[in-house]
Structure 1
Amino acid sequence: LVREVRRAGARRRQRRTELQVRAPLLPGEEPGSDRLVVLEGERPDAWWLPGTTPQLVITTAALQRLKGRQLDAVLAHEQGHARWRHDWLLHSSGALAAGFPQVPVFAAFRDEMHRLVELAADDVASRRFGRLTIALALVELNEDRGVFGPCPTPQAHVPQRVHRLLAPPTRLTPARRLRLTAAAALVPLVPLLVTFGPGLRALG
């Protein structure tokens, strides 16, 4: 985990350096003082840089393409990542996959975590601005990248996220919600059992 955090810190410092080159500070500004940075760019995009002072970054193309509530929904999506510290979830899952490459379930857990944090941020935005609004914003941001075509792309999860937002929400019965909550509470114990199980059996 320490190795993963160090690598992530190095990547974050590199990205902040690149950001300062593309958007240099004006006289009187201090590094990290701006929570929102606008970049000149032909591709519509928005992302967040984690850290002690998270920064939201959005390109001018995204500002031109997203209108009204769609822009607010995208910003709320990125703020959801920052507020709930999704970077730590990604660090933890990445550290397990890198530390135990012989355990396939950890690699699958890492890949699934990337998808789950995006779904969680979608839900944060949809609660404030509606599911249709964030779905349309996702389409606007990604339609020029070919993610909605027949060929798979690295962003293949985007169409699934859009379909999920447009589908009518399913209502779970109280009993099923209770079972899912209990199962989710036990999920963090699985990596510990896989890691320490052989040692405990040897001691026994």
Structure 2
Amino acid sequence: ARRRLRRAELLHRAPLLPGESPGPDRLVVLEGERPDAWWLPGTPPQLVVTTAALRRLRGRQLDAVLAHEKGHARARHDWLLHCSAALADGFPQVPVFAAFRDEMHRLVELAADDVASRRFGRLTTALALLELNEERGVFGPCPVSHGQVPQRVNRLLTDPDRLPASRRLRLTAAAALVPVVPVLVALAPGLRALG
């Protein structure tokens, strides 16, 4: 019901032009003073961007934000969020489900950040996050909302942890030997019979 209401509101604010059909590649631009971009789940999913976001984001930063939102749509993160919210709302006396809902929200945002950063780079994606959230008060000594944005930006700006080269080499060698073990087990009785 909420999704239908949001789609109806979106159609009211940005009606289809004559001859235009709703599709997965349709980008809806709404007049707005606050820079924002989001995707509206459903069939087909809709990408929505405000004019303030278009003014603030340039080139690859805008592309990174759109890739982030398309990553949500392709991975169907709405299903994960709805299921985790249903558990938390259905069983409010079980605090694990509320923590699961919050963690699921964080994880889908990180996954979408990774989609954008693989295509447009970690720095570009981090800068786009900064541009979208700079005026919301999420950075500074007393962040007011969207408390995970600073952690997401820090995560994008720090180098990913990698295993040392010696450990990677040992893991590769062990993985290469794994297919040999069943062959040796199968041939062992035959080799004993010959020997």
Q: If the TM-score is normalised by the length of the shorter chain, which range does it land in? A: 0.7 to 0.9
The answer as to 2:85 corresponding to 1:94 is: yes
Alpha-carbon distance in 2 for matches of 1:142, 1:104: 30
Q: RMSD over aligned Cα, in angstroms?
A: 1.7
Shift of 1:29: 2.6
Give the secondary-structure state (helix, strand or coil) at the position aligned to 2:138.
coil
Question: Among the aligned pairs, what percent are the same residue?
Answer: 82
Counterpart code for 2:88: A
Alpha-carbon distance in 2 for matches of 1:134, 1:34: 21
The match for 1:61 among 52, 63, 74 is 52
Contact 1:35 1:53 in 2 (8 A): no
Alpha-carbon distance in 2 for matches of 1:73, 1:104: 35
TM-score by length of 2: 0.80
Structure 1 regions of 5+ residues with no counterpart? Answer: 1-9, 178-204
Alpha-carbon distance in 1 for matches of 2:21, 2:119: 32
The match for 1:75 among 66, 71, 74 is 66
The match for 1:46 among 33, 37, 43 is 37
Structure 2 regions of 5+ residues with no counterpart? Answer: 172-195
The match for 1:141 among 108, 132, 136 is 132
Structure 1 runs (4+) deviating above 6 angstroms are: none
Counterpart code for 2:157: L
Matched length: 166
The answer as to 2:27 corresponding to 1:36 is: yes
Largest Rg, 1 or 2: 2
Shift of 1:116: 0.7
Given the superposition, is the C-alpha separation of residues 156 and 99 from structure 1 closer, same or farther in structure 2, using an over 3 Å criterion? same
Contact 1:74 1:125 in 2 (8 A): yes
TM-score by length of 1: 0.77
Q: How does 1:55-204 map to 2 (within 5 A)?
A: 55-172=46-163
